Structure 1
């Protein structure tokens, strides 16, 4: 996957304020809000569920941020991605509250018709989705036609779609880039893209222009586009390669909270390269999770929640590696045998696309101690269930935020994209997790075919050690619960994330009033 925002060198940015104070601006907006019939916001996510769902969550939050304003969000997706939006809106009870607009996905050689999402494509063909997504020739015409037909008052777009800045400028409407990757990982990738270098023979790279302690990352753990860029740049001016000038947009919103990544959020707001920054997450907090300490109910809950209801508190380890990752059959076999040997209860999600079958007799041996899911799992409800004691995660940012919201410690097993970078935030900065792979257990890489095989005995050892009462999991849980409380406060009315969300709406309303020259 390409870089989510390449402006970063980019380490520095701050808010541009009007001459009036923030309170004066809010008061002015309130006075003339009655003259604004509505604020129509068009949101355009990238073609992956891990992007579409946060954009939908943001749309829901925007619609309710300022009850006195008529904010009308519209999610723009291709036809095959509509069910993702609809499903989330149904789970949130927001059917009919958020509009959905569609535009055609281009015909791409090698992709079957109707395959328009990274989670639905074979691992070997995922690059075709990426290539189409960033193609000005393939993607821009359909998106531009949709934007012009919608004629929104404001746009929120994925940084993948660099041409949206030109479209927004032509229409004279503000464009906010919304990153579904955290501040830390985005800055690491941006600084590496802009200023990074790998000397010949080196197997790791140091993140440039970053605060101490030094962050050094193996080349094999870098996202594909960064690995290629650093190894094949051939002395080109790295400051000018592939930059997306997010800094020229109206602002940047990130699905994070200032308390989670304070130092790195401050790097966005301390210099001047980004006009406005909004930290509006965790967006999914409280949306569908079972309240901590509670079960899922007797009649309406899914089978997996009813199964969890039968388990003791903090006794189950939950494993899910996201919608995009590919795990080899050999590694899945070792995971299955390791979970069996651990003696711990487990709830394990395996992508149906893997088409893997457990070892002979495994299901009979684990019996009711384990549950295997190959369909959609209600992850926030699972993570918030009292019976779950730990989460084995691929370090996708959405999953990290959901673990934080649930106050749950994690074992990290990154797979692709920026997940190895996010792992460092989780284990070294947030302090809520430990690496699943012990040192020397095998090679780690963003290319699944390069992964070392983690044997069953190491799987069993990692799970039992982390889940042991009084062990590492309990130590990490305390910090996770502290972050959960701070996150709930951030998203509550008056909290930092809620204030930033309201400020985003206020700023977009003010921009509309300025364009329409509404008299004061």
Structure 2
């Protein structure tokens, strides 16, 4: 077979959240660098908001715009979860499910070898199989999280919130990986389907059951026991594809006007003294939590840079910004997170425990202080705590409450105190793993070797005459 004939055509269809689309796009770039063709599927508005492709990849990655069907009580421009109230997300999921006909038509006309999909398109593996297209699930979630979502070969009897606060009975080793009660309550409508959309756990299981291969944005070296358990549970190939860490140089010359004043302030701070605080683009902090975080930062005495998304319900304590003037900055617009985390003055990162943000922090040896807010973050935080790369702010496991003093104490422990040295040392160790580009390349090569070896035969793709 000629070398060019070995190249794959891969379609990719991530869930309509930028925390899913951007990692999928980064994976697409790694695949396209090896000469494979990518058809990247999303809605028009999402695609228009993606970063520009590097010139050398623009001929290999084609964006496929599928308009989202009009849905009652869902604004026409609402094509992603960003900026969307939580009660509207189920409507977006239901609109997303109505893309089935468009996806089917695309697969029939373009005949990719594989489609790499997300957890939400529970209906896609059957469509792909019927058309002779192989399917893979790309999980932006850790292997531990995918394991927690449930088994595909045995029954998952979890029904009540309390059932999700303990390690599942299919996990044979001791672990802290489970939700706290308040974390389950915040997402239980999504887990159970009470929000009017397909239950998230069922979507996960139907996708895991239906696809040919599972690819996970993680590495075996970080969570070997979970990868092994996943293979045992699902009896199909499970591939780590690496942490897909971004490169600082990718946006080195972007947003200089925004970065310059931030850098000037950071340059004045002592090395490893500043706390960076950010909770992602979509996490919603309650105002009582916001108040305790603000007072905790004040009590800690540490310099800080806080990227805070303010809305109509958010309000900082009266006089807070005046009292911390010079020592702390509250940034209410977008900030260049990678550049900030890379700066020598950053000594710790107060985070919601999102895996993407954590990868960026560990790349630059930044120890973590953990404060979960939503989705899979509780499971992530337990794993990070277990592996000593993050210290959780103590809080009530039933209602999630915490105090300003606990915020201050946790920040000081991780950034400056001797007891926190274990977290600082572990962050340095993890930086070597996260930043290992050779390992990343090998993971992608191994995954693609499998996809190439198991591409559908031509007669399967041509079975209906195309």
TM-score, normalising length from structure 2?
Answer: 0.85
Q: Would the aligned equivalents of 1:315 and 1:388 in 2 still touch at CA under 8 Å?
A: yes
2:428 is the alignment partner of 1:478: no
**3-state SS of paired residue (2:221):** coil
**3-state SS of paired residue (2:2):** helix
Partner of 2:63: 100
Deviation at 1:115, TM superposition (A): 1.0
Partner of 2:406: 458
Cα distance between partner residues in 1 of 2:159 and 2:36:
47
Cα distance between partner residues in 2 of 1:93 and 1:416:
38
- Aligned pairs (5 A) from 1:73-84: 73-84=38-49
Cα distance between partner residues in 1 of 2:365 and 2:373:
23
Q: 1:376 to 1:212 in 2, by over 3 A?
A: same
Q: 1:97 to 1:190 in 2, by over 3 A?
A: same
Deviation at 1:43, TM superposition (A): 0.9
Q: Would the aligned equivalents of 1:78 and 1:102 in 2 still touch at CA under 8 Å?
A: yes
Deviation at 1:419, TM superposition (A): 0.9
2:213 is the alignment partner of 1:243: no
Partner of 2:131: 171
Deviation at 1:201, TM superposition (A): 8.2
2:215 to 248, 253, 262: 253
Deviation at 1:164, TM superposition (A): 1.6
Deviation at 1:58, TM superposition (A): 0.3
- Aligned pairs (5 A) from 1:101-250: 101-133=64-96, 135=97, 138-191=98-151, 194-197=155-158, 204-213=165-174, 215=176, 217-222=179-184, 243-250=205-212
Cα distance between partner residues in 1 of 2:222 and 2:104:
36
Deviation at 1:423, TM superposition (A): 0.8
Q: 1:171 to 1:305 in 2, by over 3 A?
A: farther
Partner of 1:268: 230
Q: Would the aligned equivalents of 1:220 and 1:227 in 2 still touch at CA under 8 Å?
A: no
Q: Would the aligned equivalents of 2:120 and 2:204 in 1 still touch at CA under 8 Å?
A: no
2:19 is the alignment partner of 1:32: no
Deviation at 1:335, TM superposition (A): 1.9
Q: Would the aligned equivalents of 1:198 and 1:231 in 2 still touch at CA under 8 Å?
A: no
Cα distance between partner residues in 2 of 1:203 and 1:74:
37
Q: 1:149 to 1:385 in 2, by over 3 A?
A: farther
With CA pairs under 8 Å and 6+ residues apart, which has the higher RCO, 1 or 2?
1
Cα distance between partner residues in 1 of 2:175 and 2:37:
44
Q: Would the aligned equivalents of 1:188 and 1:207 in 2 still touch at CA under 8 Å?
A: yes
**3-state SS of paired residue (2:323):** helix
Cα distance between partner residues in 2 of 1:272 and 1:110:
38
Residues matched between the structures, number: 452
User: How large is the Cα RMSD of the aligned pairs?
Assistant: 3.4
Deviation at 1:469, TM superposition (A): 4.2
Q: 1:183 to 1:194 in 2, by over 3 A?
A: farther
**3-state SS of paired residue (2:112):** coil
**3-state SS of paired residue (1:380):** helix
1:47 to 1, 13, 16: 16
Deviation at 1:152, TM superposition (A): 2.1
Cα distance between partner residues in 2 of 1:483 and 1:124:
37
Partner of 2:463: none
2:367 to 390, 409, 423: 409
Cα distance between partner residues in 2 of 1:371 and 1:113:
36
Gaps of at least 5 residues in structure 1 are 1-30, 233-238, 445-449
Q: 1:464 to 1:243 in 2, by over 3 A?
A: closer
2:280 is the alignment partner of 1:322: yes
Partner of 2:349: 391
Q: 1:351 to 1:144 in 2, by over 3 A?
A: farther
2:437 is the alignment partner of 1:467: no
1:72 to 23, 33, 37: 37
2:338 is the alignment partner of 1:380: yes
Cα distance between partner residues in 2 of 1:310 and 1:149:
58
2:463 is the alignment partner of 1:505: no
TM-score, normalising length from structure 1?
Answer: 0.77
Gaps of at least 5 residues in structure 2 are 195-200, 461-466
